Chains A and B, each alone.
Chain A
Amino acid sequence: QQQVKQSPQSLIVQKGGISIINCAYENTAFDYFPWYQQFPGKGPALLIAIRPDVSEKKEGRFTISFNKSAKQFSLHIMDSQPGDSATYFCAASRDSGGGADGLTFGKGTHLIIQP
């Protein structure tokens, strides 16, 4: 059972455009939703994260929008640049109350920004 569904699988955006990646989750116990960026040959790196008590979080050109009732969240990359070309993973985790659960990842989106 895939607990975090991510779309699209791949995305091509022109330089300067807006890149939008969507995720949906099933487990209502999830209470932390990070986005990770991964370049080839590197491990994932945290980009931005949100908790369900807010509907939007912005850091520079990156914005997470969160819809708790729909159990959906999305990443918007404004003014997309060729250096943003990477694989993006949404993820979710829950406070297990006593130990680290790690993260449940979406399947990833391969983003290409064309110059």
Chain B
Amino acid sequence: DTEVTQTPKHLVMGMTNKKSLKCEQHMGHRAMYWYKQKAKKPPELMFVYSYEKLSINESVPSRFSPECPNSSLLNLHLHALQPEDSALYLCASSRSGQGVNEKLFFGSGTQLSVL
């Protein structure tokens, strides 16, 4: 199984809503990532978890809250988002994230629209 599974595939939410994006992998990877991708733009790194610990937070606003409950799961909790937060949110994983340049496996993403 070389898949990274993201749910939901599409999400529409109001600015006062609270929602969560979910990501799951069963490849035994110990590094997991959240990226944000606007239309016709490259992915931008948001968060990195290595061995279930947050190792990188790229100055992301606090309305985005990541969580890594175990080595297979990664969540992104959303609260009080703005319309400009509408984007494709991509989850990725890699084997260890221990400073060794590794292949990132990306999920298909959650297309988020904030109204």
- What is the interface of chain A, defined by CB distance below 8 A to chain B? 31-32, 34, 41-46, 49, 51, 89, 93-103, 105-108, 110
For B103, the chain A residues whose CB sits under 8 A away are 34, 46, 49
**Contact of A99 with B104 in the complex, beta carbons under 8 Å:** no
Bound form: Cα–Cα A41–B50 in Å: 27
Closest to B32 in A: A100
For A51, the chain B residues whose CB sits under 8 A away are 101
- A96-B99, A99-B48 are known; give 20 further A-B pairs, CB within 8 A: A31-B101, A32-B101, A41-B108, A43-B107, A43-B108, A44-B106, A46-B103, A46-B104, A51-B101, A89-B42, A95-B100, A97-B99, A98-B98, A99-B50, A99-B99, A100-B48, A100-B50, A101-B56, A102-B33, A103-B43
We find that the number of chain B residues with CB closer than 8 angstroms to chain A is 30
Closest to B101 in A: A32
- Nearest chain B CB to A43 CB, angstrom units: 3
For B81, the chain A residues whose CB sits under 8 A away are none
